[in-house]
């Protein structure tokens, strides 16, 4: 009789092990993405946020010229580069670095009539408007209210977040008083006035998605490692509601049609290697791969220079409908250089 220690694992055990490894990978991806959802307003008020990376230089010009606005600089300006960003936003720097971060400048301002209260201004130079939109969209608070005074802006109880050209900006107050809310808006307007007209056009990537069923303010740009797949970068996502089913569509402009097609195939092969199953039947879009991954469906296809699809859908029928709409919208459209 053979020893049990030398018996080969049963197929069931092997499959169970693979399933557990996939679940662990999904959990790890969820934890990785969740770290980007920490409210910046909370982060800014942590004690470590008060540390100065550079020695204060009181003779530096203020980050925002607030002369005659009733708002006064409350601390010297500070500046952080790629090597020192961790000192200011420990635990969150990777998101910015992966998105093209160039520099961060910060300074606190206080309304003249608000003793002891202040607003800390964070100006992230992200090198391009798309990079700035990426970090803005990845951190947008659920349920936050838009600020119509600026093209891409929203407010929380004690903060204002926005983009302007290459810049992603945060204005975070020590409290939620109307005086500080007013000061945040005033500082934002002064910054915009001194940094040129960035235009009031649609957000980067907004023209990649059809409007039918689109959930407002859901557009995101994932700069790197989208859906836990390292090769997927510069992926725009948008949320939809079709037949009462919430869905996520994605589009990634690639350099050439061949590159888009090859990446679509590679992504599908990766899902299959993690246990996804091919769904039989005609695909909703010519050449699309339709996969079932646990209890969700993934549709992946390429069209021209676009990699596109529907991610983790709870309904195959709704996902197929969204894929058809997306393909129809993308047909004949070329990504902007």
Q: What is the pLDDT of residue 152?
A: 85
3-state secondary structure 73-133: ECCCCEEECCCCHHHHCCCCHHHHHHCCCCEEEEEEEEECCCCCCCEEEEEEECCCHHHHH
CA dist., res. 64 & res. 61, Å (int): 8
Q: What is the pLDDT of residue 15?
A: 63
Q: Which of 60-64, 128-132, 284-288 has the lowest mean pLDDT?
A: 60-64
Q: Which of 52-61, 124-133, 298-307 has the lowest mean pLDDT?
A: 52-61
Q: What is the pLDDT of residue 125?
A: 97
Q: Are 159 and 174 in contact (CB under 8 A)?
A: no
Cα–chain center distance at 180: 27
Q: What is the pLDDT of residue 325?
A: 96
Residues 6+ apart with CB under 8 A from 276: 291, 292, 293, 298
Judge residue 195's burial from the number of C-beta atoms within 10 Å of its C-beta, 0-12 exposed, 13-18 middle, 19 or more buried: middle
- Would you say residue 181 has pLDDT above 50? yes
Share of the chain above pLDDT 90, in %: 66
CA dist., res. 154 & res. 292, Å (int): 36
Q: Which of 254, 251, 249 is nearest to 308 (CA)?
A: 251
Read off the pLDDT of each residue in 33-47 and give the average, rounded to a whole number. Answer: 49
SS3 226: helix
Cα–chain center distance at 86: 19
- Model confidence at 321, pLDDT cuts 50, 70, 90, reads very high
Q: Which of 285, 291, 292 is nearest to 307 (CA)?
A: 285
- Model confidence at 144, pLDDT cuts 50, 70, 90, reads confident
List pLDDT tens digits, range 44-80. 444 444 444 444 445 578 999 999 889 999 899 999 9
Share of the chain above pLDDT 70, in %: 80
Q: What is the pLDDT of residue 272?
A: 96
List pLDDT tens digits, range 199-216. 666 678 889 999 999 998
52's enclosing H/E stretch is: none
292's enclosing H/E stretch is: strand 289-293
Residue 291 token pair: 């996969």
Q: Are 233 and 276 in contact (CB under 8 A)?
A: no
List pLDDT tens digits, range 248-271. 999 999 999 999 999 999 999 999
């Amino acid at each position: 009789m053979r020893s049990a220690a030398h018996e080969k694992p049963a197929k069931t055990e092997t499959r169970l092990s693979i399933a557990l490894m996939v679940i662990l990978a999904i959990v790890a991806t969820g934890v990785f993405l969740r770290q980007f959802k920490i409210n910046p307003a909370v982060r800014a008020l942590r004690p470590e946020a008060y540390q100065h990376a550079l020695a204060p230089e009181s003779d530096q010009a203020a980050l925002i010229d607030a002369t005659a606005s009733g708002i006064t600089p409350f601390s010297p300006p500070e500046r952080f580069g790629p090597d020192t960003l961790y000192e200011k936003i420990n635990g969150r720097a990777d998101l910015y670095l992966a998105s093209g971060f160039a520099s961060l400048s910060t300074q606190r301002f206080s309304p003249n009539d608000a003793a002891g209260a202040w607003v800390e201004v964070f100006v992230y130079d992200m090198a391009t408007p798309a990079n700035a939109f990426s970090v803005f969209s990845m951190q947008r608070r659920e349920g936050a209210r838009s600020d119509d005074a600026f093209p891409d802006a929203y407010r929380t109880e004690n903060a204002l977040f926005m983009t302007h050209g290459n810049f992603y900006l945060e204005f975070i107050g020590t409290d939620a008083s109307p005086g500080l809310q007013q000061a945040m808006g005033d500082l934002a307007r002064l910054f915009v006035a001194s940094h040129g007209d960035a235009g009031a056009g649609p957000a980067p990537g907004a023209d990649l998605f059809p409007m039918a069923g689109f959930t407002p303010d859901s557009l995101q740009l994932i700069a790197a490692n989208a859906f836990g797949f390292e090769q997927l970068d510069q992926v725009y996502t948008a949320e939809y509601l079709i037949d009462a089913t919430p869905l996520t569509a994605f589009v990634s402009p690639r350099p050439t049609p061949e590159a888009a097609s090859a990446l679509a195939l590679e992504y599908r092969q990766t899902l299959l290697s993690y246990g996804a199953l091919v769904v039989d039947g005609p695909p909703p879009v010519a050449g699309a791969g339709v996969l079932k991954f646990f209890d969700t469906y993934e549709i992946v296809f390429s069209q021209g220079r676009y990699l596109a699809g529907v991610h983790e859908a709870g309904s195959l029928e709704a996902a197929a409908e969204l894929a058809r709409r997306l393909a129809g919208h993308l047909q004949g459209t070329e990504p902007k250089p």
